[in-house]
Amino acid sequence: MTETPRDAVGRRLAAAEGWQTLEGAPDPKQNREQWAAFFAICKMTHDTFATEPGQRLLQHLVTTFVARPIVHPNDTQFAAGIRQGQAEVVLQILQQVELAKRGTP
């Protein structure tokens, strides 16, 4: 079976061992203010989804938008693109939660 881009992102997120493996993080050596703003957003995301209702919601989002096929027979590219975008938002949330857990580099 061929790995889809979504599978690759999920595998990369699950196997991430360092900051450089996660997308979206600014280089902390370049701009401290930009890094601080980015990390603050990650921390807010983590705090939101660290609660029991937040964890239940996040599980629902993963089940609904990530753990399902993106392309269906007879779909248009537009419909597939919408579903891919929905999955990407959930993956971004997961990534921000993970970044906040790791703390500042």
Per residue in 57-90, pLDDT tens?
999 999 999 998 888 899 999 999 999 999 999 9
Range of the domain at 72: 28-102
The structure's pTM equals: 0.69
Number of domains in the chain: 1
Domain-located, residue 67? yes
Higher pLDDT, 2 or 101: 101
Judged by DSSP in three states, 39 sits in helix
> Does residue 42 have a pLDDT over 60?
yes
Higher pLDDT, 105 or 51: 51
Enclosing H/E stretch for 35: helix 32-49
The dihedral through the CA atoms of 55, 53, 46, 8 has a sign that is: positive
Contact between residue 35 and residue 28 where contact means Cβ atoms under 8 Å apart: yes
Domain-located, residue 63? yes
